[in-house]
Amino acid sequence: MSEPMIKLENVSKTFTSGSGEVEAVRNIDLEIEKGDIFGIIGLSGAGKSTLVRCLNLLERPTEGRVYVNGKDMIKLTNKELSVERRSIGMIFQHFNLLMQRNVLDNVAFPLEIAGEKRKNAREKAKKYLDIVGLSEKAAAYPAQLSGGQKQRVAIARVLASDPKILLCDEATSALDPQTTKSILELIKEINRDMGITVVIITHEMSVVQEICNKVAVLDHGNKVEEGTVEELFRAPKTEEAKKLVFSETAHIRRMQSSRQIRVVFDGRSAFEPIIGNIILELRTPLNILYANTQTINGDAKGEMILQLPDNKEIADKMVEYFKEKNLGAEEVNYVD
Amino acid sequence: MWTEQEILMILQGLWETIVIVGVSTFFGYVLGLPLGVLLAVTDSDGIKPHPMLYKVLDVVTNILRSVPFIILLVVLIPLTRAIVGKSYGTAATIVPLVIAAAPFIGRMVESSIKEVDHGVIEAAQSMGAGTFKIIWNVLLAEARTSLLVGVTIAFGTILGYSAMAGAVGGGGLGSIAIRYGYNRWQPNILWPCVIILVLLVQLFQVLGMKISKDLDRRRS
């Protein structure tokens, strides 16, 4: 396999302040392949934002090595780093547009930094504004745009420097669900059509499910789990990952004190009437508390929360049955 | 009410005041703007932290700011003489005014720059912008309305200082007001001077705020 686009080796970042030391990120190893849409998910304070800033050295790791596009980032001089950063675009939760420049000049800004004349830069910027569908807003100022439009401008601004990598730091967290979807769609297009590798920092499992192919779970600065999104969704291994994956059904599980099980169906198991079979076989009804279909990486996945019967023997048998069928069965009894 | 001579004197004073304050504000910014930028940039949360340099600038700025202007005026007489050749008159007033205004302007510039959203600076860094480009295109460009408000404040303050310079033989309306109003008790000279000074500050304030507001693109 070719060299990964991004490679972290044993990266740690410790902040020292008056009140002591905080280890924001601890001994992280990570490999992100060219063309990946890689999710880094974790609750707030997990160190995600610090980790993503270690990729373009907005934060300098206290320990470890960072390789991007084959280059040892930490060894670069300031000048070389500036050049390298142009191929690593970044978008932010709060968009971070220049408020005193109009939309077109915002997109032209990275080109000006790279030494283009303002006139040329503006000419090129028009093309990128067109890609994100905001040509008619060229003369508007950021304050006149909606959140989604601002993020589109930020994306056009990133594209203007023709990057190989796009880092998204909670890029949809300030947007409503509908706008989030359209922004994620745009990011997906960029990944597919321009071959740009994408790294997505988020605290929302739905974002990862919508767009990522691989994912790493971060907790208190540690990488606790890593794999494909499908694996994580079907059978999260660690407590931290479970918390994130199961968070959407927490309100349903809270209502019931009995034993509950979460099963995940995919195309393979959908042909077999599994729940019907179980009920017939064990002659005990099974209550469906929650059911939903999710698209993960383009595949439809069914997710269900089932309430198990009070009879422990029968309940155990049911769990076993689901496990045998390889449905990622996991008991998810709610504990506050 | 006024002799022709008195009217001419007041007009002359007005012109001198405008020159003194205008030139002093200009040179105050020539020194104060770089000072403010350096203070903001080298501070621990700036884009190029440099604790030593910051400390030195910080202390020097504070010392100059804490000397009362009327004292500074006297202390700086040798410097004034070295620069303009004499220690009284219009040109001589400008030297101590600039020295007094620069640290004050520096602080205002520093605080204007620190209002710039850190996220925008980070975005520029992520695009590979160097320190100089960030200072020019992000810090100063984004802070421009706040900087302009600072200019109007600086103008008003320097105008106030310039009246004090009158006490030691500087030129301008302040000097006339003190000589004729205070020393000779001639209210017919004192009041026009005061009123013109007030109007001057008002005019500049209104003008400055309007320009600053017109240039601000943060409102929709």
Show the domains of chain A with their CATH numbers: 6-235 (3.40.50.300), 246-331 (3.30.70.260)
Which residues lie below 8 Å from residue A273, measured CB to CB, with a gap of 6+? none
Distance CA B189, CA B178 (A): 10
Element holding B191 (H helix, E strand): helix B187-215
CA dihedral of residues B37, B40, B41, B42 (deg, nearest 10)? 120
Query: Has residue A336 got a pLDDT over 80?
Result: no
The arithmetic mean of pLDDT across residues B99-108, rounded, is 96
Cα(first)–Cα(last) distance of chain A, in Å?
A: 45
Phi-psi domain of A196 (left: phi exceeds 0; alpha: psi -120 through 50; beta: other): beta
Confidence of residue B146 (pLDDT cuts 50, 70, 90): very high
| pLDDT at residue A335, rounded to an integer | 53
Chain B residues close to A113, C-beta within 8 Å: 124, 127-130, 133, 137
CA A151, chain centre distance (Å): 16
pLDDT band, residue B180 (cuts 50/70/90)? confident
Residue-wise DSSP of B54-110: HHHHHHHHHHHHHS-HHHHHHHTHHHHHHHHSSSSSHHHHHHHHHHHHHHHHHHHHH
Q: Which residues of A touch B219 (CB under 8 A)?
A: 143
* A255/B contact by beta carbon, under 8 A: no
- Residue in B with minimal Cα distance to A96: B120
A101 touches chain B (CB under 8 A): yes
Residue A283 and residue A278: Cα distance in Å, rounded?
Answer: 8
Nearest CA to A47 among A62, A67, A32? A62
To the nearest whole Å, the CA of B219 is away from the closest chain A CA by: 6
Residue of B nearest to A144 (CA): B220
Nearest by CB to residue B217, choosing from A56, A90, A100, is A100
Query: What pLDDT does residue B108 have?
Result: 97
Using one digit for the tens of pLDDT, what is the confidence trace for A156-180? 999 999 999 999 999 999 999 999 9
For A54, the closest chain B residue by CA position comes to B126
Are B118 and B185 in contact by the 8 Å Cβ rule? The answer is no
Identity of the residue numbered B216: D
Contact B128 A81 (CB under 8 A): yes
What number is the ipTM of this complex? 0.87
Separation of alpha carbons B218 and A141, rounded Å: 8
Rounded-to-10 torsion of CA A141, A146, A149, A155: 80
Edge to edge, the sheet with strand A214-219 lists A88-92, A165-169, A197-202, A37-41, A214-219, A222-228
How far does CA B182 lie from the centroid of its chain? 26
Residue A225 has a pLDDT of 94
Please check whether residue A173 touches B, CB under 8 A. Answer: no
Two tokens at A226?
Answer: 């890593």
Q: Distance, in angstroms, between A109 CA and closest chain B CA?
A: 9
Q: How many CB pairs under 8 A join A and B?
A: 83
Residue A336 burial by CB count (10 A; 0-12/13-18/19+): exposed, middle or buried? exposed
Q: Chain A: residue nearest B120 by CA? A: A96
Question: CA-CA distance, A213 to A297, in Å (whole number)?
Answer: 6
Nearest-by-CA chain A residue for B139: A98
Q: Which residue of A has its CA nearest to B144?
A: A100
CB contact under 8 A, B216 and A144: no
Q: Which two tokens stand for residue A189?
A: 């297009």
Interface residue of B120, B126, B214, B218 to substitute, partner A, most A CBs within 10 Å? B126
State residue A154's pLDDT score.
97
Nearest of B46, B44, B66, B64 to residue B55 by alpha carbon: B44
Q: Which amino acid is at B26?
A: F
**At residue A334, does pLDDT exceed 70?**
no
Contact with chain B for residue A102, Cβ under 8 A: yes
CATH homologous superfamily, domain B4-214: MetI-like (1.10.3720.10)
Question: Whole-angstrom Cα distance, residue A14 to residue B132?
Answer: 28
A217 touching chain B per CB within 8 A = no
- What pLDDT does residue B181 have? 84
Confidence of residue A28 (pLDDT cuts 50, 70, 90): very high
C-alpha closest to that of B162 among B81, B98, B82: B98
Mean pLDDT, chain A, whole residue set: 90
Scanning chain A, the segments in alpha helix (DSSP H) are: 48-55, 78-85, 103-113, 118-131, 147-159, 177-194, 205-211, 229-234, 239-245, 250-254, 274-282, 312-324
Distance separating alpha carbons of residues A108 and A124, to the nearest angstrom: 7
Residue scoring higher pLDDT (A323 or B32): B32
Q: What ranges do the domains of chain B cover?
A: 4-214
B141/A100 CB distance under 8 A? yes
Pairing state between β A287-296 and A299-307: antiparallel
In the structure, what pLDDT confidence band is assigned to residue B64 with cuts at 50, 70 and 90?
A: very high
pLDDT band at residue A292, thresholds of 50, 70 and 90? confident
What does DSSP assign to residue B183? Answer: I
Closest Cα partner for B200 from B7, B5, B22, B1?
A: B22
Distance CA A51, CA B164 (A): 57
**Chain A residues whose beta carbon lies within 8 Å of the beta carbon of residue B125:** 58, 85
Residue with tokens 């996220």: B119
Confidence of residue A272 (pLDDT cuts 50, 70, 90): confident
For chain B, the residue count is 220
Q: Tokens 């994956």 sit at which residue?
A: A245
CA–CA dist A227, A216 (Å, integer):
7
Q: Kindly report the nearest CA distance between residue B102 and chain A, in angstroms.
A: 27
Interface contact flag, A143 B220, Cβ < 8 Å: yes
Beta-carbon separation of B220 and A141 below 8 A: yes
Question: What confidence score (pLDDT) does residue B74 get?
Answer: 87
**Which residue of A lies nearest to B123 if distances are taken between CA atoms?**
A96
Question: Could you tell me which chain A residue has the CA closest to the CA of B133?
Answer: A113
All residues of chain B having their beta carbon less than 8 Å from the beta carbon of residue A142 are 217
Q: Quick check: B120 and A98 CB within 8 A? A: yes
Residue A200: beta bridge partners? Answer: A39, A168
Taking contacts as CB-CB distances below 8 angstroms, the residues of chain A near B147 are: none
Q: Could you tell me if A279 lies within 8 Å of chain B, comparing CB atoms?
A: no
Q: What is the pLDDT of residue A256?
A: 66
Segment holding B142, helix H or strand E: helix B141-142
B65-97: b or e for each residue (b if 16 or more CB lie within 10 Å)? eeeebeebbeebbeebeeebeebbebbbbbbbb
**Mean pLDDT across A44-56:** 93
Q: Provide, as residue numbers in chain B, all residues whose Cβ is less than 8 Å from the Cβ of A60.
A: none
Confidence at residue A268, expressed as pLDDT on a 0 to 100 scale: 66
